[in-house]
Amino acid sequence: MGGLKQEYLDKIDAIVDQHKDQKGPMKLMLHDIQDELGYIPFEAMVKIADALNVPVSKVYGVVTFYSQFTTEPKGKHVISVCLGTACYVNGAQTILDLLCEMTECEVNSTSENGLFSIDATRCVGACGLAPVVSVDGTVFGCQKQLEDLKMLILDYLKEEEPC
C-alpha cells in the first residue's frame, strides 16, 4: 500500500474509524471517502475490509456495483451529460460532442491536464429540462441554458491558462 500519500491514508483511517461501529457502515465509509478524495482507491477498500472483517472482494463488489462510486480520480470539474431518451432526442449527443471538443476530454475519462472529467449518464430524472448537463453538481437544462454552460466551460479554461 505505498501508492497513496500519508495524508490520504490518514483521512481514510479517520473515516473508517468514524463509521465502523455503525449499522451498514460500508456504504457510509465509501461515500465519505469518495467525498473527501474524489474517488475510492484500492487502499481504502483494503482498510474498509480489514475494519469490517470482510473480504476485499466484497467491498470491491459494492464499489463497482453502484454507479455513483468511482475507482479513478476525477478532474477538477466533473461534467455529466444525460443520454437518457428525452435528453438524447433533444440533442444531448451533440452537446456531449461539443463538450468533449471544448475540454479535449474523451467520454467517461479525465482530460490530460486533470481539469475536466466527462461522464455520459443515463436518465437523471429531469426529463422536463431535457437535455440535461451537470457541472460540479450544478444542473443545466433546456436549450436556453446551453449558452451559459459554454461560457462556464470557457471560464474554467481561462482560469487554467498561464499568465
Binding residues for [2Fe-2S] cluster: 82, 87, 123, 127
Dist CA 56 CA 60 (whole Å): 6
Which amino acid belongs to residue 8? Answer: Y
Measured distance CA(49)–CA(120) in Å, rounded: 30
| Cell numbers standing for residue 111 | 482530460
Indicate the annotated binding residues: 82, 87, 123, 127
Are the CB atoms for 29 and 15 separated by under 8 Å? yes
User: Phi and psi (nearest 5°) for 52?
Assistant: -100, 0
CB atoms inside a 10 Å sphere around CB 78: 17
Please say whether the beta carbons of 88 and 124 come within 8 A: no
